[in-house]
Structure 1
Amino acid sequence: MKISPLDNLVLMGDIRQSLLPRDVLSAAKELLYHLDIYICNMVQSGRQPPQVDSKTLELIEEFILHAPKDRNTPGRRMSALQELQLLEIMCSCFQEQSRDTVRQLMFSALFSLQGNQADESRMALLGKLVSMAVAVGRIPILECTATWLQRTHRVFCVRLAQVLVDDYCSMVPGSVPTLQNIHSTSPRFCCQFITAVTTLYDLTSEELTPPIELLQMIASWIQDDPRLVLITFLNSPLSGSQPISSLDVTPLGGLVRWCVKAPLAFRRDKKVALSSGSTENHQDAGLLFSALHLSVLQVFMLLPNILNEKGLFGRLALLQLESLAALTSDLSRLLDQADKHTHTSSEDMHTLSQLTLDRLAQALQVAMANRALLCSREDLRAICSRLPHNNLLQLVLSGPVMYYNNIHTPPLAFSPHAAHSPIAAHPAHPAHTPLATHAAPHPQYPGQPFMTGMPFPFRPSH
């Protein structure tokens, strides 16, 4: 017999009296069972929008999150074993529910933040549940978590990311492959996870520098599938601008920040590495950031076709000018501090500074050429005005945007220090005539003219 929404609500309201005599685990299990039935009936009734009522949310807070009903009632607590059993029950519950709409509504009822004291319990339980889902491969929970990460304030998103980094990159040696292997089974979760960790680790301090294991994992993910960082963008309806409190729609801004700041950030920590007698991690990180930088540039070069398909070419900036302004401000501060580092020679520091600025110039050039960044040259000159001189950056700030027609092997041989620069802006060296073989645009990119003589430098850090 079909249950009406009103009967459904009454049914959930009557459950509390039957839950009170039960032990904490039994009560939580019983409530999850009834919550599943309640949401299934709500979806079946066609109620729009399908929304869990406040009384049901109160039951969740009382019997699953164990928030006290009132100040005079002490909250019930689970033992560690009971909590583990509850997590296993929740994993099975989401795994066995075949309808994604029901799963998403149930996950939202359990873990959408309400702005009350129960939110701390929500976050604690969510971190343990997602960590377990990674460990045992519960893809429905990871998919629901990806949606949660899209809709939740970034402060809480980075808290969840920190839990996973601690669990899989710090606390348990050898557990990184468990997290790494999910990229093929839940790419949506991986994309949101990358966005969250690039928001968390901004390289402003040693504590906010990504662990080498995390960096290696993300670099390998993007090398294997550059489109991974665009999954959220490709699968989400975009209506206007993103809420200012949410994570970015792609991790591109955070990845650019990582790659550009890395030479200076890791050189800042080199003294610690030297004192401990090991620079292996530092060297590994340099190579990983170099590879990651190349992968990010290749992602930018995938965008014209993708944006054209969505009708957004020239209309949507996936790299925000405000994010770049914050980055250049950080770079200015880091470069000012670089001269004070006595453990690094001035020649080495100059090399690292130029590498940092080269990477910034490359990112700006390729992002603008592929319309991931929509701004004027005047805007760029304004945000870069406090940075030291760099040949390539100067060319990007003053010259035309260059387009490339080869996304697989971007030209990487140009050096701003070459004796014969191919840039037309140099008065002593007129522009070269394009070769005949390059005169016609590549058929895959009919709208992009090809211009020779503007490759960008790419140098691994040392």
Structure 2
Amino acid sequence: MCDMRQSLLRRDALSAAKEVLYHLDIYLSGQVQNSPSPSVDTTTLELVEEFILHRRMSALQELQLLEIMCSCFQEQSRDAVRQLIFSALFTLQGNQADESRMALLGKLVSMAIAVGRVPILECAATWLQRSHPVYCRRLARVLVDDYCSLLPGSMVPTLNNLSSSCPPFCCQFITAVTTLYDLSTEELTLPVQLLQMVVSWIRDHPRLVLITLLNTPPSSSQPIGSLDLTPLAGLVRWCVKAPLAYRRDGKQGLANGTTETELEAGPLFSELHLSVLQVLLLLPGILREKGLLGRLALLQPDQLTSLISDLSGDLEELNPLHSDTQTHIQLTLDRLAQALQVSMAAGALLCSREDLRALCSRLPHNNLLQLVMSGPVQQSGFYPHIHTPPLGYSPRPGPLGPHPSSHSPHTSFPSQPFLPSMAFPFRPSH
């Protein structure tokens, strides 16, 4: 190995990096073939750091290196070898090379999206599943910047087919961006182009957000400090917080008090909310098949606590006396109630009724939320199938929701019916 290092030192930066990649491929192919527990030794990792991550390259050389890496992953037919190569290159080691790793990783995944290199995206999905959320958010930020900021309008045509060509990456990417954009500030409110893409992915492939859960053996556990198994908690947060977040961040109001961004994003969040409820209804069968029904909470109580705390803070920033603001508040609480009811019925939220009442005690009164906190949750499988209404369909809630005379209609964030033809026993709270 010492002789190899001396040989690499005599080469130019691109040639040396290419040689290390070639060595890595041959070395790990042999490991997979001959060893029951293939791994990368320390000396090889040192070569990767010295000749790929630390050597200075011109912009042209770096582009050529990315093309070489794309070809390397594309031509390697064995997934196990590809995953090991990717791990050797981009597993964070807690040293100075990690910044270079993250920079190169962002450029490689961005290029893989642009040129449709699915093997790289599959490796990136595994990396996202195993890495700390801080670094997952950094990668997500790079991709969103590339496809929403630097190249506005390019996201839809470029990523449109990803949901069918590489579902694992899409699932992990959605999970990462829901942790990146938590709608807590204007800067952390997701771009409309990104929202459009997420909505179209989930609308066309509802099981997409469950891919990681489906592919994870029941006995295995997520690495400590990793992303959630599904993006459901983050998607619920988006849908519930959206009416208040856009109301809070709106700068330039229209004649009816709504904002231009709100008019564009409102129907998208409404469609996303309905899609999330439909996905939740798929869970009982999946969890039962894996032996996890009643044992695995995909929406954690601490996530619910954080969401309700954020809602309380957002409500304090708004003027509750404004009639249009009241419409937004009631829509937010309606969506929260719907998400809670379906999540508990589907086994995604394991929360007692008493804990739920305590958590929601700081929120304003809402008829639907009161029903959820008062009445028993129906057993899984009792709910009828929810049919997606046309995009322009904006029904008002029935007797379970606020009285129509209480609030004026609001077309920007159309309300969705809770669950058609469902009767809930009502016990007044004292």
Check whether TM > 0.5.
Answer: yes
User: Residue by residue, what CA displacement relative to the aligned partner does 1:340-394 show, whole Å, maximum 9, x if unpaired?
Assistant: 8xxxx61111111111111101000000011111111011112212111111111
Following superposition, the deviation at residue 271 of structure 1 comes to 2.1
Q: Do the aligned partners of 1:273 and 1:282 also contact (CA within 8 Å) in 2?
A: no
Tell me: CA distance 1:211–1:120, structure 2 relative to 1, closer, same or farther (3 Å): same
Following superposition, the deviation at residue 398 of structure 1 comes to 1.3
5 Å-filtered alignment, 1:192-207, equals 192-207=172-187
Following superposition, the deviation at residue 181 of structure 1 comes to 2.2
Query: Residues of 2 paired with 1:86 and 1:229: CA distance?
Result: 33
Tell me: CA distance 1:410–1:281, structure 2 relative to 1, closer, same or farther (3 Å): closer
State the partner residue of 2:398: 414
Structure 1: segments with no counterpart, 5+ residues: 1-11, 67-75, 421-449, 456-462
Query: Residues of 1 paired with 2:83 and 2:219: CA distance?
Result: 21
Query: Residues of 1 paired with 2:363 and 2:148: CA distance?
Result: 35
State the partner residue of 1:91: 70
State the partner residue of 1:290: 270
- Partner of 2:251, secondary structure, is helix
Following superposition, the deviation at residue 310 of structure 1 comes to 1.2
- Partner of 2:281, secondary structure, is helix
Tell me: CA distance 1:331–1:353, structure 2 relative to 1, closer, same or farther (3 Å): same
Q: Do the aligned partners of 1:357 and 1:393 also contact (CA within 8 Å) in 2?
A: yes
Tell me: CA distance 1:417–1:396, structure 2 relative to 1, closer, same or farther (3 Å): closer
State the partner residue of 1:29: 18
Following superposition, the deviation at residue 242 of structure 1 comes to 3.5
Following superposition, the deviation at residue 282 of structure 1 comes to 1.9
Tell whether 2:429 aligns with 1:453. Answer: no
Q: Do the aligned partners of 1:222 and 1:295 also contact (CA within 8 Å) in 2?
A: yes
Structure 2: segments with no counterpart, 5+ residues: 390-394, 405-419, 426-430
Tell me: CA distance 1:268–1:451, structure 2 relative to 1, closer, same or farther (3 Å): closer
Following superposition, the deviation at residue 236 of structure 1 comes to 1.3
Tell whether 2:303 aligns with 1:314. Answer: no
Following superposition, the deviation at residue 58 of structure 1 comes to 0.7
Following superposition, the deviation at residue 339 of structure 1 comes to 2.1
State the partner residue of 2:113: 134
Tell me: CA distance 1:98–1:241, structure 2 relative to 1, closer, same or farther (3 Å): closer
Picking from 394, 405, 410, the partner of 2:370 is: 394
Tell me the matched-pair count.
400
Query: Residues of 1 paired with 2:402 and 2:262: CA distance?
Result: 29
Following superposition, the deviation at residue 312 of structure 1 comes to 1.3
TM-score, length of structure 2 as denominator length? 0.89
Q: Do the aligned partners of 2:130 and 2:226 also contact (CA within 8 Å) in 1?
A: yes
Give RMSD over aligned pairs: 2.3
Query: Residues of 1 paired with 2:199 and 2:399: CA distance?
Result: 25
Picking from 2, 25, 31, the partner of 1:42 is: 31
Q: Do the aligned partners of 2:334 and 2:401 also contact (CA within 8 Å) in 1?
A: no
Tell whether 2:5 aligns with 1:16. Answer: yes
Tell me: CA distance 1:410–1:82, structure 2 relative to 1, closer, same or farther (3 Å): closer
Structure number with larger C-alpha Rg:
1
Tell me: CA distance 1:241–1:33, structure 2 relative to 1, closer, same or farther (3 Å): closer
5 Å-filtered alignment, 1:54-453, equals 54-66=42-54, 76-176=55-155, 177-239=157-219, 242-272=222-252, 279-339=259-319, 346-403=322-379, 404-409=382-387, 413-417=397-401, 452-453=422-423
Q: Do the aligned partners of 2:375 and 2:424 also contact (CA within 8 Å) in 1?
A: no
Following superposition, the deviation at residue 170 of structure 1 comes to 1.4
- Partner of 1:64, secondary structure, is helix
Query: Residues of 1 paired with 2:218 and 2:273: CA distance?
Result: 27
Moved more, 300-309 or 406-415: 406-415
- Partner of 1:203, secondary structure, is coil
Query: Residues of 2 paired with 1:419 and 1:385: CA distance?
Result: 22
Q: Do the aligned partners of 1:13 and 1:56 also contact (CA within 8 Å) in 2?
A: no
